[in-house]
Amino acid sequence: MVPPPKRVDAVEVKNTTAQPLKFRAVYDDHKDKKEIVEEFTVAPGSSHTFGEKELNMGTWTAVAPIKRVEADGPGGPHRLEPSVGGIVKLLQVSAAEAGGGVKLSQAH
């Protein structure tokens, strides 16, 4: 029996810190064997959604899953690799201040 797929299609990032943060969503383009990277700076108390990416496979389309979410903040870059059980259409990721840096956490 084939196990069900585990993937995240889109991610909403929320900045709960006191400073703007540059977020990156890294998608897995398994068709062309590369990563698709999108960046967006999110103001304090605001959020941004990195949407679903479709891959043209010729006669059908696939979704490029999100491999990781990164944020540049105090203490350097921080990253989160989503851990899900199944297909998640929209994963919520929050950035919070923690120990002089930034901590990313997920909820879905």
Specify the CATH architecture of the domain 7-107.
Sandwich (2.60)
φ and ψ at residue 55, rounded to 5 degrees: -110, 130
**d(C-alpha 36, C-alpha 66), whole Å:** 9
Helix, strand, coil share of the chain (percent; to 5) = 0, 60, 40
What are the pLDDT digits (tens) for 48-104?
999 999 998 889 998 999 999 999 988 888 999 999 999 999 999 999 998 888 999
**Is the pTM for the entire model greater than 0.75?**
yes
Q: Which residues, in sequence order, are CB contacts of 76 under 8 Å at separation 6+?
A: 101
Q: Which residues, in sequence order, are CB contacts of 1 under 8 Å at separation 6+?
A: none
What are 21's strand-pairing partners? Answer: 42
